[in-house]
Structure 1
Amino acid sequence: MGVGTLIGGIGIFLLGMMLLTDTLKSLAGERLRERLNRMAEGPVAGAFLGATMTALFQSSTVTTLMTISFVSAGLLTFTQALTLVIGANAGSATTGWIVALLGYNVDIRELLLPLIGVGMALRLIGRRVKRIGMLLVGLGLVFVGIGTLQEAMREVVTFSFSGWDTDTPLHQLALLGTGLFMTVVLQSSSIGLVLTMTALATDTVTLAQAAFLVLGQSAGTSLVVALGSLGGWKSARRIVLGHVLVHSSILLIGWLTFPLLFGVVNRVADWLNWNELLRLALFHTSFHLLGVLTFLPFHEAFSRRLLKWVPSRSEKLIRFLDPNMSRIPTVALEAARRSLIEIERYLGNETKLLLTEARKREDELQLVEKTLGDVRVFLSTIQLEEGQGRNDYGQHLSLLHTIDHLERWLFVLREVDPVDALRDTDFLVARQLVLHELELVDALNHHTPPEDSKQWKTASKQLAEYRKAHRAEMLEETAANQLEMEQTIRKVQALLWLDRLGYHVWRATRHLIKPTVPSERFEVNLED
């Protein structure tokens, strides 16, 4: 019965935590996204936001994974995200205080069991209060789980830590490793902390042993975050690396300063006449705050180092863009033009790969789509200056045309499966014309003279003429029953696909190297 009760207690606690986390995310998620940038403007504000999110969700892992999604969506910069990750350490300490103050000092289960019934009633009443109802259910289940764990630990404890001397480095490492293992297996340092506090309350472990266990559990969250972000973008990998380094450093600092830190905690607790659970909560908070104070003053240097260690392809493509340039339109527009040249060359290489090897890499196409969006946002910040309006307006207009054609080019690559275009020997000429355009794109740079745009124009015109002639020829063959209708449709679609591709390659390049002359119908507003 004891083992079953233990497993059930873990399950009840987990269910309560999941309900709390999911409900709080749904209640605060949209508002959080809207205010995110404003709230994370400085390092202290970012760390406070990270701590608050973790305190609300009762999981630093959830905070970190949400932060990764915010960076991927462009809602936070990497440096801002790093301050949230650092601050999340402090927020994770709230679990220990909740358990130490409420979980064992009073029979909270009797007080909170009715909450489960009230919460479910609210859940069934209507849409407006159902989230509040689930919040109450989650809160009730968390403490029911804690109480169940406490009972189970008294029944099932057969393993003794009495032989593990916390003054021996080997035993210290064993305790740290056990704590880390608990977090990885349970997928939550909060659950590991609750189990450790339960063990401490039932005299299964000493206070010093519990302190080493929670140190290891804190480091274990890095592995949980790494598993939760597998397959993510480079920005996600950077945040995970930052998370690993922060938590590993906290573990190392906590271990090396353990005699001093543990001694200070005990002196403060003696003065306050605190029990062992409160002492453990204080120790847990102390080493997390120590980690925050260690990293937060140097977060910018730490961020730069991580950016260097894990370079992003998207940042390489838009490396010329600097928000401060927007006050100098001519410089800003040239930076945007150079970025679009890099993006077009990158897209050209992906297109060649598709035409020659029939390989379409969606991740790379998503990268192009994201960087085009970044350039578009950058262009929207540029303010025209009096006396330079017409030339800059023409350049700005050309770059918008370029983005439009690059996005259409991207759409063409995603639109259909070009198997016929790649394998049908009837279209070798058309394919070679497109590849010729792409070879020219590969040699494109910011010094390419405007008159060179004729090379792309010539290839595109030849492609259009080829398409017209062969389309008419295929329709005639179909009418004469020399080709099946289905076969004709596939061939015509493939030919049109190649023609559209060649057209957008030409137009994107033309606007990129030969600025558009503004229409006389529009006057440039120089006052905005």
Structure 2
Amino acid sequence: MNISWDAILGGFGLFIFGIKFMGDGLKSLAGDKLREYIDKYTTKPIMAVLIGTVITVIIQSSSATTAITIGLVRAGLMKLEQAAGIVMGANIGTTITAFIIGLKIEKFALFFVCAGALIICFGNKKKLHYLGQVILGFGLLFYGLRIMGDALKTLKDLPEFVTFAHAAGEQPILALLAGTVMTGIIQSSSAVIGVVQKIYEAGGMSLMASVAFVFGSNIGTTITGIFAAIGGSLAAKRTAGVHTLFNVVGTIIGMMFLGVYVSIVVYLTGLLKLSPMMQIAFAHIIFNLVTTLLFFPFLKQMCAIVRKLIPGNEPEKLDVNIDELNDILPHQLPSSALNVSKEVILKMSHVVERNVKESQKYLMNHKAGAEDKENILQAEGIINGLDHKIVDYLLLISKEELNESDFQEYSLNLQVVKNLERIGDLTVNLSEFYEMVKEDKSNFTKEAVEELKAMYELFYHMLNSTMEIYTTKDYAKFEALLEDENYMDLLEYESRQRHFERMRDGKCSSMISGSVYCDILSNMERMADHCCNIAKAVFADKK
């Protein structure tokens, strides 16, 4: 039998690339607002479920939604219960891909490819570029599906496949395992379900086996989170734990009532006169919706189980509520609005400090990987979001008639925000230097790590002193901070000199770690300078 494996594999490649390309475009198009909405609207579990659903529909990736959530938990801006709600919502949102595939609009695929390519090639704005990426990805998704689907029709006549399909129909556990393994390997439940839709449409698999395959993809999709959590943060492990517990238990219940569930699907889809591909999409949507509704009342208990299975202390949740920065107060009471902005700035400083500590963990942990780096970038996005919100709020205040004292406070707050934001940028620089060393599979010398540890500890002390000076205007602390700055300069100079000696003596064998070490020292020293810039701004009128 002539099976077009090139068409199956090539079409599948275009299909999964289209899903990812479209999702990346949607994510870029939405920008940092995704993180802002997640942070802002998930104080209640039911809202967390809704936001998780909407965000996953927008970016077409439950894994990406989970990654953003882990970053917020790790930064102390979200509790595990909120994260659990978002994960539940993501399970609902991820079903939209199967629904879109069920619409069978692949005959228009190349029109979308053409439109997307033209927008990317001739669009002169970033937003247009991202829109073109979404349209092109959408077209590639369906074009790949069309190529793959035509080739899969012949697969149903392959003796080995017929044997497997028959066995899966008789023993759905085989389809469940196959769906789990395939999704774990491909790391996309949407892609696996798309294949199942095409095979079922071609008559190559019974509905019973197809639904079991879909159930298996629900378990397989948790493998991405499990891999990300290995050696990762407590937040990553527990979020992955909630996701796994929810999907595995839900799937077990689904398999226990598989026969009944398939009969219900057949009855309802018959009434609605749905196509075979839409039948699978319907089964997927209803199952994920029902399991979410079933488990939602037990969300706290699930989190309690995960906390016992994965012990440890979560970061204390930081109450960074940007709703405090309402647009009315600056017009009515500018002085009170300045005090509100100051409170939010202090909370921003805590996020900055935590992210610096995450960069140090990234340095010290030899097993740290992409997930740890991603969490640093997520926290940096939070810092940038706070920066924009606070600056916009301060500009609103500045348009009012301010007395001399309020104007000085306005100027001070503005300088504090910008210096904190720069510390955040330098923290990302540090993580990028550490990433270069890890990718080179080399390490810093023990002496170099100790030198950096000393500089980190001094920086934490300086940042805390700086924020105390900002709130108390204690001049004695300011003078002590200037001495700390001199000491940081000395540490930077001496560490640099010792580094040159180690290179001369051949103790620093890695070219990468040797070349970036001085840049790291310089970044640490500049972070300390920004602390002093804040303190100097407090006493600017004393010059």
TM range (shorter): 0.5 to 0.7
- Partners of 2:152 and 2:365 in 1: how far apart? 52
Q: Where does residue 58 of structure 1 map in the other structure?
A: 60
Secondary structure of residue in 2 paired with 1:62: helix
Kindly provide the CA deviation profile for residues 271-298 of structure 1, in whole angstroms up to 9, marking residues without a partner as x: 2233333322222112111210122122
Percentage identity across aligned positions? 25
Q: Where does residue 173 of structure 2 map in the other structure?
A: 173
Deviation at 1:360, TM superposition (A): 5.6
Secondary structure of residue in 2 paired with 1:204: coil
Deviation at 1:182, TM superposition (A): 1.4
- Partners of 1:22 and 1:134 in 2: how far apart? 8
Deviation at 1:314, TM superposition (A): 5.3
Task: State whether structure 2 residue 311 is matched by structure 1 residue 283.
Answer: no
Deviation at 1:308, TM superposition (A): 3.6
Deviation at 1:219, TM superposition (A): 0.9
Q: Root-mean-square deviation (CA), in Å?
A: 5.2
Q: Where does residue 237 of structure 1 map in the other structure?
A: 237
- AA at the equivalent of 2:135: L
Q: Where does residue 2 of structure 1 map in the other structure?
A: 4
Kindly provide the CA deviation profile for residues 395-446 of structure 1, in whole angstroms up to 9, marking residues without a partner as x: xxxxxxxxx9xx9xxx9xx9x97839999xxxxxxx9xxxxxxxxxxxxxxx
Kindly provide the CA deviation profile for residues 100-150 of structure 1, in whole angstroms up to 9, marking residues without a partner as x: 2x22xxxx3342312212211111223321111111111111110111111
- AA at the equivalent of 1:40: T
Kindly provide the CA deviation profile for residues 163-209 of structure 1, in whole angstroms up to 9, marking residues without a partner as x: 32645xxx221111011111112221111101101101111101111
- Partners of 2:113 and 2:167 in 1: how far apart? 41
Q: Where does residue 294 of structure 2 map in the other structure?
A: 294
Task: State whether structure 2 residue 167 is matched by structure 1 residue 164.
Answer: yes
- Partners of 1:422 and 1:35 in 2: how far apart? 40
Q: Where does residue 508 of structure 2 map in the other structure?
A: none
Q: Which moved more, 1:299-308 or 1:219-228?
A: 299-308
Task: State whether structure 2 residue 481 is matched by structure 1 residue 419.
Answer: no
Trace 1:344-493 onto structure 2 (pairs within 5 A): 419=447
Q: Where does residue 150 of structure 1 map in the other structure?
A: 149
Kindly provide the CA deviation profile for residues 83-112 of structure 1, in whole angstroms up to 9, marking residues without a partner as x: 010111111221222122x22xxxx33423
Q: Where does residue 218 of structure 1 map in the other structure?
A: 218
Q: Where does residue 436 of structure 2 map in the other structure?
A: none
Secondary structure of residue in 1 paired with 2:225: helix
Q: Where does residue 473 of structure 2 map in the other structure?
A: none
Deviation at 1:16, TM superposition (A): 0.8
Deviation at 1:36, TM superposition (A): 2.2
* 1:3–1:156 Cα contact (<8 Å) kept: no
- AA at the equivalent of 2:118: A
Kindly provide the CA deviation profile for residues 63-95 of structure 1, in whole angstroms up to 9, marking residues without a partner as x: 222322332344433221110101111112212
- AA at the equivalent of 1:154: K
Kindly provide the CA deviation profile for residues 31-60 of structure 1, in whole angstroms up to 9, marking residues without a partner as x: 112222222222221111111122223332
1:123 to 120, 123, 133: 120
Q: Where does residue 131 of structure 2 map in the other structure?
A: 132
* 1:249–1:291 Cα contact (<8 Å) kept: no
- AA at the equivalent of 2:142: F
* 2:235–2:314 Cα contact (<8 Å) kept: no
Secondary structure of residue in 2 paired with 1:303: helix
Deviation at 1:361, TM superposition (A): 5.7
Give the TM-score of the pair, scaled to structure 2: 0.59
Task: State whether structure 2 residue 278 is matched by structure 1 residue 250.
Answer: no
Q: Where does residue 43 of structure 1 map in the other structure?
A: 45
Kindly provide the CA deviation profile for residues 434-469 of structure 1, in whole angstroms up to 9, marking residues without a partner as x: xxxxxxxxxxxxxxxxxxxxxxxxxxxxxx9xx9xx
- Structure 1 residues 322 and 197, CA, compared in 2 at 3 Å: closer, same or farther? closer
Deviation at 1:214, TM superposition (A): 0.8
Q: Where does residue 17 of structure 1 map in the other structure?
A: 19
- Structure 1 residues 195 and 422, CA, compared in 2 at 3 Å: closer, same or farther? closer
Q: Where does residue 69 of structure 1 map in the other structure?
A: 71
Kindly provide the CA deviation profile for residues 238-279 of structure 1, in whole angstroms up to 9, marking residues without a partner as x: 001111101101111110121222222222222223333332
Task: State whether structure 2 residue 313 is matched by structure 1 residue 310.
Answer: no
- Partners of 1:266 and 1:249 in 2: how far apart? 24
- Partners of 2:32 and 2:153 in 1: how far apart? 43
Deviation at 1:18, TM superposition (A): 1.4
* 1:36–1:75 Cα contact (<8 Å) kept: no
- AA at the equivalent of 1:39: Y
- Partners of 2:139 and 2:108 in 1: how far apart? 9
Q: Where does residue 106 of structure 2 map in the other structure?
A: 109
Q: Where does residue 90 of structure 2 map in the other structure?
A: 88
Q: Where does residue 99 of structure 1 map in the other structure?
A: 101
- Structure 1 residues 418 and 175, CA, compared in 2 at 3 Å: closer, same or farther? closer
- Partners of 2:259 and 2:450 in 1: how far apart? 69
Give the TM-score of the pair, scaled to structure 1: 0.60
Bigger Rg, which one = 1
Q: Where does residue 416 of structure 2 map in the other structure?
A: none
* 1:229–1:237 Cα contact (<8 Å) kept: yes
- Structure 1 residues 123 and 311, CA, compared in 2 at 3 Å: closer, same or farther? same
* 1:50–1:87 Cα contact (<8 Å) kept: yes
- Structure 1 residues 273 and 121, CA, compared in 2 at 3 Å: closer, same or farther? closer
- Structure 1 residues 197 and 421, CA, compared in 2 at 3 Å: closer, same or farther? closer
* 2:176–2:215 Cα contact (<8 Å) kept: yes
Secondary structure of residue in 2 paired with 1:163: helix
Trace 1:510-521 onto structure 2 (pairs within 5 A): none
Q: Where does residue 478 of structure 1 map in the other structure?
A: none
Secondary structure of residue in 2 paired with 1:164: helix
- Structure 1 residues 421 and 127, CA, compared in 2 at 3 Å: closer, same or farther? closer
* 2:207–2:262 Cα contact (<8 Å) kept: no
- Structure 1 residues 304 and 322, CA, compared in 2 at 3 Å: closer, same or farther? farther
- AA at the equivalent of 1:212: A
- Partners of 1:225 and 1:417 in 2: how far apart? 32
- Structure 1 residues 258 and 314, CA, compared in 2 at 3 Å: closer, same or farther? closer
- AA at the equivalent of 1:80: Q
What residue ranges of structure 1 are gaps of 5+ in the alignment? 324-339, 351-358, 378-403, 424-430, 432-463, 468-483, 491-496, 498-518, 523-528
Secondary structure of residue in 2 paired with 1:289: helix
- Structure 1 residues 54 and 419, CA, compared in 2 at 3 Å: closer, same or farther? closer
- Partners of 2:146 and 2:199 in 1: how far apart? 12
Q: Which moved more, 1:111-120 or 1:63-72?
A: 63-72
- Partners of 2:115 and 2:197 in 1: how far apart? 29
* 1:193–1:214 Cα contact (<8 Å) kept: yes
- Partners of 2:217 and 2:176 in 1: how far apart? 8
